[in-house]
A and B are shown apart, each in its own frame.
Chain A
């Protein structure tokens, strides 16, 4: 097992990427290939106190960097030697088992689709967010890759998310809800209504644990283990949940620092507060897999620090071990896309 990491992608690259990679190698015992400008990476490592290349770390040279403003479809032609493209080439060549990048999401999605390809029969890959809920975690698919969807795409998303929830997050027989503006079967635009019918049929054939429509307000409570959504609605839901989490933790902090008594209370609750914070922290999750791509590719948060990178590598290892692509390929008959 070996994980390839884009060392130049993200707001805190390359220092936090390097730190996170070193932490991951030490904690999980899996070697890592850092992709980026070799000379620059070595200089950064020296300035961070590493006299030599840390154990378990390799460097693959890439002279260019994909900026956050670069257009996804142009990158493959204009930045062939970027850390993102070189990293995907290494994955395609079998030099590693998964690729992690905190860089340009659009470029990662387009380049993964064009270079690695989709599992045969999958019409579109989906960015799959793993979100905290009151019951643990839920999988939101799609969380932004496909603004427009079709009923068949939503069916594919539901199956892919379900496989991920079961085999990577280890949720037994995960429940699947269809994100909608109401729980009744008749709710939503035509795409959602048709998708509902397809998902219900899948439930009847006992291949998917579809529980019906789910409203956004029920997602944080753990109303479903997998939430199938079009990318537009999914992205809005994900950002609303992120923003709400920040708001709540900020408000709690303000309350606890109000006076000496509240500060003492916070001290007494220190352990529980730390656990609460950890459950809401994206850094503990790691990244968002691009489900439907034929090999494991994960998008780490753009602001990933070392902890988040370490978590992303952990998630990449589990994702690669679970061989989700083979599961999807083996069950593609259940989710045949329309033409």
Chain B
């Protein structure tokens, strides 16, 4: 469920076909994302999942879609 939502948001933001997005999709290498793209995505994710602000130190470890999905799931279960 989290993956489906995240994939949809990534598809919207990066203009890629949602069917091409997997847990292994890398932001930099596969989506050509830079720091601004990541910040934009995280802001949208914070709002969508109501998980509060994602800390900068957490963002540095988020390299793939799977990383983001696992992070959100952890935050949701903490809440």
Q: Which residues of A contact B (CB under 8 A)?
A: 73, 76-77, 110, 113-114, 121, 337-339
Partner pick for B36 among A113, A121, A337, CB 8 A cutoff: A113
Contacts of A337 in B (CB 8 A): 15
Interface set, chain B 35-73, CB cutoff 8 A to A: 35-36, 39-40, 43, 53
A77 to B15, CA, bound (A): 26
The reply to whether A73 and B35 form a contact with Cβ atoms under 8 Å apart is yes
The CA of A332 and the CA of B32, in the complex, are separated in Å by 20
With an 8 Å Cβ cutoff, the count of chain B residues facing the other chain is: 11
Question: Does B35 lie within 8 Å of A121, measured CB to CB?
Answer: no
A338 CA to B35 CA, complexed, in Å? 18
Cα-based distance from A121 to B31 in the complex (angstroms): 15
Q: Is the interface of B mostly helix, strand, loop or mixed?
A: helix
Whether B15 contacts A114 by the Cβ 8 Å rule is no
Tell me, rounded to whole Å, the shortest Cβ–Cβ distance linking B63 to chain A: 17
Q: Could you say which of A113, A121, A338 contacts B40, with CB atoms under 8 Å apart?
A: A113
Q: List, in ascending order, chain A residues with CB within 8 A of B40's CB.
A: 113-114
Cβ contacts A to B, 5 pairs, < 8 Å: A73-B35, A76-B43, A110-B39, A121-B15, A339-B31
Q: Does B16 contact A (CB under 8 A)?
A: yes
Contact with B39, one of A73, A121, A338, A339 (Cβ below 8 angstroms): A73
Cβ of A73 and Cβ of B15 under 8 Å apart? no
Residues of chain A within 8 A (CB-CB) of B32 are 338-339
Q: Is the CB of B16 within 8 A of A339?
A: yes
Q: CB distance A339 to B15 under 8 Å?
A: yes
4 tightest A-B CB contacts, nearest first:
A339-B16, A114-B40, A73-B39, A114-B43
List residues of chain A with CB within 8 A of the CB of B15.
121, 337, 339
A114 to B38, CA, bound (A): 11
15 further A-B contacts with Cβ under 8 Å, apart from A76-B43, A338-B32, A339-B32, are A73-B35, A73-B36, A73-B39, A77-B53, A110-B39, A113-B36, A113-B40, A114-B40, A114-B43, A121-B15, A337-B15, A339-B14, A339-B15, A339-B16, A339-B31
Q: What separation, in Å, do the CA atoms of A338 and B53 have in the docked complex? A: 30
Distance to closest chain B CB from A294 (angstroms): 13
Q: Which residues of A contact B31 (CB under 8 A)?
A: 339
